[in-house]
Amino acid sequence: MLQLDTGIEYLKGVGPQRAEVLKKELGVFTCRDLLFHFPFRYIDRTQFHRIRDISAEGDQYQFKGILRRLETLGDGRAKRLVGTLRDESGSIELVWFKSIHWMEKNLVVGKEYIVFGRATEFNARFNMAHPEMEEATPDNLQSARTFDPVYPSTDNLTQKGLDARGIRRLMRTLLEGLRPGEILEAIPPYIQTAFKLIGRYDAIQKIHFPENQLELDAATRRLKFEELFFLQLRLLQIRRRRKDAIRGFVFEKIGDYFNNFFHQKLPFELTGAQKRVLKEIRADFASGQQMNRLVQGDVGSGKTVVALMSMLMALDNGFQSCLMAPTEILAQQHFNNLNEMLEGLGVNIGYLSGTVKGKKREALLEKLASGELHIVIGTHALIEDWVVFQNLGLSIIDEQHRFGVEQRARLWAKNPAGPPHVLVMTATPIPRTLAMTLYGDLDVSVIDELPPGRKPVETQHRTEHHRLRVQGLMKEEIAKGRQVYVVYPMIEETEKVDLLNLMSGYEAISRDFPPPQYQISILHGRMKAADKDFEMQRFVKGQTQIMVATTVIEVGVNVPNASFMVIENAERFGLSQLHQLRGRVGRGAEQSYCILLTSFKLSADGKERIQTMVQTNDGFKIAEADLRLRGPGNIEGTQQSGMLRFLLADLARDGQILAAARDTAAKILEADPALQAPEHHGLKVHLETTGKEARVCSRIS
Ligand code: ADP
Ligand code: MG
């Protein structure tokens, strides 16, 4: 009998040589590893299709029909054998470019065949090239009806006889030797019943060798649930433990700083969503537990004022706060903004970045250490060891996905008396399924409402041919007193060329929009901080009407008078980037426009990205399209996350299973936090024995 931990070389049919290749090529060391090497597709020959029902190129079909014609056409390289297969529903052309002789000799017109292959479209008709052909004898009809797994293999494996078929053979041997007792069932029966899940042993048998689609679906669903469920259980358990273990500073009062700001300074009514999120934060502050909260809010939803008011709550309770932003521009902008909003309230605000040096820096650090400074705004310089606070109570991180996990974690250590409360803000809307996974151990607040009076940005797709027309529109907007962004792509790998494009674009615009009537700013990552700031300020103050820039303006920049944006080579940007960029306009009361300029020819993905942008302004819809197009591993800020590697689950598709899994995990922990109930024993064992590799990366945020 077989044990799963047995080395793969001992499985019948493997041996030392094949074992070597299996290890190297597939990372399969033990029988268990092989068991979890799942098929990546299946060949469904359980049924015969009707020829008339072919609907999609690339799909596989099995027909039963009579060969009606067979002839050789063309000559030389164009020589081919063409046949016609007919069933009661219609007919299809079969084509061979190779083995023409052999096929011609063996196929007989008038006989009935079982034909299996992939449909291709040619001249608006479907045909099938090099199909598998078998005579439709009673025996063949019986044995042809299989549902076969296809396993990923490689050239080296194939050379050792382990192509998809070879692996299939090994898998049969493995599964035949496997006793049910070897497969531990960790999901309690009551949950299996509630969600109609099949057992684990069954599921593993059937993911490899289902008899039909229904069995495969049941196996897949069970195993996906399991994957998502255990991850959620683990994340929620970590969150509970952290809350129990770490004391948080208690900010219980709302004092003068907060009240004075609220009554005298706040220039607008808060939206319902802002109020709700502030309430959630306030409850965290009062709870005695350390806050670890993610605030998600689309661009322009007003996260800054939420951050500001949270910092005032900290101040009212005698604590310092810091606000960290990913770029100097953004940090500077926050600093200017906050200074303005808090003017006359007696709040001391400081600014720190790599460019603050010498005496200025020393003075700032001193005030920070003595407690004279209440709030410090800055870039990642804030996390350096030499930045010491007197009493840091709240750390806020804006656009958190721009920071690495370790960077964020360092803010935790900035107060020896205990970790400050942590608030992270993101304008990159994360699809719910991803948020539940990536930030599964954080509390999440969503600002899902824009301040009143905003008009959605109108987005249009234009190609090179319309350049003149676009320029005309720019002039019209500028004549109305508005400002314009022109954005160029800047990608690391092609930086040199991109920089050249940007500069020649800038020159062209300078020619078409000459001074003194027009003034133009330029901004890109290669410029010195002081120059960037100068150019930015000119644009902010309205001294320039056009800002030619790269994506450095993507994050957070706020110039409400800018109402027109042209994005050059828009097809080269990712969806979330386009959305962020577009968020720079539509910040005032005026109707704003975003023009996506692209070349004439677009890839299918490129087209879909542009269309998505034209169709919707909803960040969550865009994020979901992004997830669909690129897969979870490529969504911004998630690249390094091992948590998104699933065997089967697909966050873009399995939202419902995920929601059920998370909900179930939450209920279990609510009722039985330590998993002590006898029916949860299996869960506990499973978590303890398999949990080691699970890294949780959002912990810190
Ligand atoms: P983001 O969430 O993208 O960081 P900001 O905090 O920069 O958004 O806010 C965008 C703009 O909306 C700012 O000019 C801000 O003053 C304004 N704003 C924020 N909240 C409100 C509100 N409740 N009513 C009106 N304007 C608001
Ligand atoms: Mg912001």
How confident is the model at residue 643, as a pLDDT? 60
3-state class (DSSP) for residue 603: coil
3-state class (DSSP) for residue 202: helix
CB atoms within 10 A of CB 411: 24
Atom of ligand 1 nearest to the CA of 560: 14
* Ligand sitting nearest the alpha carbon of 330: 2
Can you read off the two tokens belonging to residue 257? 């700083």
Residue 619 Cα to ligand 1 midpoint, Å, equals 16
**The domain over range 47-145 is classified in CATH as 2.40.50.140:** yes
How confident is the model at residue 284, as a pLDDT? 95
Atom of ligand 1 nearest to the CA of 271: 23
How confident is the model at residue 639, as a pLDDT? 44
All CATH 2.40.50.140 domain ranges of the chain, comma separated, are 47-145
CB 387 within 8 A of CB 411: no
**The domain over range 458-616 is classified in CATH as 3.40.50.300:** yes
Can you read off the two tokens belonging to residue 566? 């042209």
**Ligand 1 mutation pick, 274, 304, 445, max ligand atoms within 8 A of CB:** 304
* Ligand sitting nearest the alpha carbon of 306: 1
Nearest alpha carbon, ligand 1 atom 4: 303
* Ligand sitting nearest the alpha carbon of 307: 1
Contacts of 102 (CB under 8 A, 6+ apart): none
How confident is the model at residue 32, as a pLDDT? 92
- Sign of the CA dihedral running 434, 436, 442, 445: positive
Q: State how beta strands 292-297 and 147-150 pair.
A: unpaired
Contacts of 214 (CB under 8 A, 6+ apart): none
Nearest alpha carbon, ligand 1 atom 19: 302
Query: Pocket residues for ligand 1 (CB within 6 Å)?
Result: 268-271, 274, 297, 299-305, 427, 451, 556, 558, 560, 587
Task: Write down the H helix ranges in 440-528.
Answer: 467-479, 495-512
Q: Which of 191, 168, 221, 204 is nearest to 42 (CA)?
A: 168
Residue 494 Cα to ligand 1 midpoint, Å, equals 35
All CATH 3.40.50.300 domain ranges of the chain, comma separated, are 256-287+302-426, 458-616
* Ligand sitting nearest the alpha carbon of 304: 1
Nearest alpha carbon, ligand 1 atom 15: 302
Contacts 24+ apart (CB under 8 A), 400-405: 400/294, 400/424, 400/425, 400/426, 400/637, 400/701, 401/426, 401/428, 401/636, 401/637, 402/326, 402/327, 402/555, 402/637, 403/324, 403/326, 405/640, 405/697, 405/698, 405/700, 405/701
**Burial class of residue 543 (count of CB atoms within 10 Å of its CB; 0-12, 13-18, 19+):** exposed
Atom of ligand 1 nearest to the CA of 299: 3
Q: Which of 559, 326, 289, 354 is nearest to 424 (CA)?
A: 326
In the chain (701 residues long), the average pLDDT of successive 10-residue segments reads 86 93 93 92 88 84 94 89 94 92 92 92 87 89 83 89 90 92 90 95 95 93 94 88 87 96 95 97 94 87 95 98 91 93 96 94 96 96 94 91 70 88 84 72 84 89 93 96 94 81 93 94 89 90 95 76 96 90 87 95 92 91 84 54 72 85 94 93 87 41 31
**Ligand 1 mutation pick, 558, 581, 584, 590, max ligand atoms within 8 A of CB:** 558
3-state class (DSSP) for residue 185: coil
Atom of ligand 1 nearest to the CA of 301: 2
d(CA 380, CA 327): 8
Can you read off the two tokens belonging to residue 187? 């999901």
CB atoms within 10 A of CB 596: 25
Can you read off the two tokens belonging to residue 570? 């828009």
How confident is the model at residue 699, as a pLDDT? 37
Atom of ligand 1 nearest to the CA of 297: 2
Can you read off the two tokens belonging to residue 676? 């002590």
Nearest alpha carbon, ligand 1 atom 13: 302
Task: Write down the H helix ranges in 617-654.
Answer: 619-630
- Sign of the CA dihedral running 308, 314, 315, 317: positive
Predicted model pTM: 0.69
Half-sphere exposure for 292 (CA within 13 Å, toward CB)? 23
- Sign of the CA dihedral running 54, 59, 61, 67: positive
How confident is the model at residue 644, as a pLDDT? 64
Task: Specify the fold of 256-287+302-426.
Answer: Rossmann fold (3.40.50)
Residue 7 Cα to ligand 1 midpoint, Å, equals 60
* Ligand sitting nearest the alpha carbon of 583: 1
3-state class (DSSP) for residue 39: coil
d(CA 147, CA 125): 28
